[in-house]
Amino acid sequence: MSNIAYLLISVEDKDATGQKSTIQDYAENKNLPIDNYITVEVPSLKGERARRVQELFSNVNRWDVVIISDLARIGHSITEIVTIIRDLSERGIRFIAARQGVDLNGHTDASSKAANAVFDMLAELEKDLASSRIKEILARKKGDGVVLGRPKGSISSSKLDKKKGLIIEYLSKGVSKASLARILDTSPSNLASYLRTRKIAVTKSKKPLPEGSMAHNDVLQKEVTTKEDAKEDRPFTTTMEQSKTIRHLDATNDVLLCRHCGKNTLDPRTTTCAGGYIDYQSGESSHRIPYPKDEKERCPRCGVEPGGFHHDGCYIERCPKCGERLVSCGCKKL
Q: Please, where are the H alpha helices in 144-238?
A: 164-172, 177-183, 188-197, 214-229
**Residue range 3-120 in CATH 3.50.50.60:** no
Are 69 and 19 spatial neighbours (Cβ–Cβ below 8 Å)? yes
pLDDT at res. 292? 92
Residue 24: what pLDDT? 92
* pLDDT given at position 204: 56
Give the 3-state secondary structure of residue 154: coil
pLDDT at residue 22 in the model: 92
Q: Nearest Cα to 100, choosing from 86, 113, 123, 119?
A: 119
Full pLDDT tens readout for the chain, 334 residues: 789 999 988 877 778 889 999 999 999 998 999 998 989 888 887 778 888 888 888 888 888 899 999 988 888 888 888 888 888 888 888 899 998 888 888 666 666 667 767 777 777 777 777 777 788 888 888 888 887 777 766 777 888 988 888 888 888 888 888 888 888 888 888 888 889 888 887 665 555 555 555 555 554 555 545 554 544 444 444 434 444 433 443 444 567 888 888 888 888 888 999 877 888 777 788 888 999 999 989 998 888 999 999 998 898 999 988 888 888 888 876 5
Structure confidence at residue 313 (pLDDT): 85
- What pLDDT score does 257 carry? 83
Mean pLDDT, rounded, of the chain: 79
**Closest C-alpha to 68, from 39, 46, 47, 90:** 39
- In 110-124, which positions are buried (b, 16+ CB within 10 angstroms) versus exposed (e)? eebeebbeebeeebe
Residue 308: the pLDDT is 92
In the chain, where the domains are located: 3-120, 159-205+247-255, 264-334
CA atoms within 13 A on the CB side of 31: 0
Return the pLDDT at 106. 66
Angle among Cα 233, 238, 242 to the nearest 5 degrees reads 100
- Judged by phi (left if over 0) then psi (alpha if -120 to 50, else beta), residue 213 lies in beta
The Cα–Cα gap between 50 and 81 comes to: 8
CA 79 – CA 120 distance, rounded (Å): 8
Cα-only R_g, the chain: 26
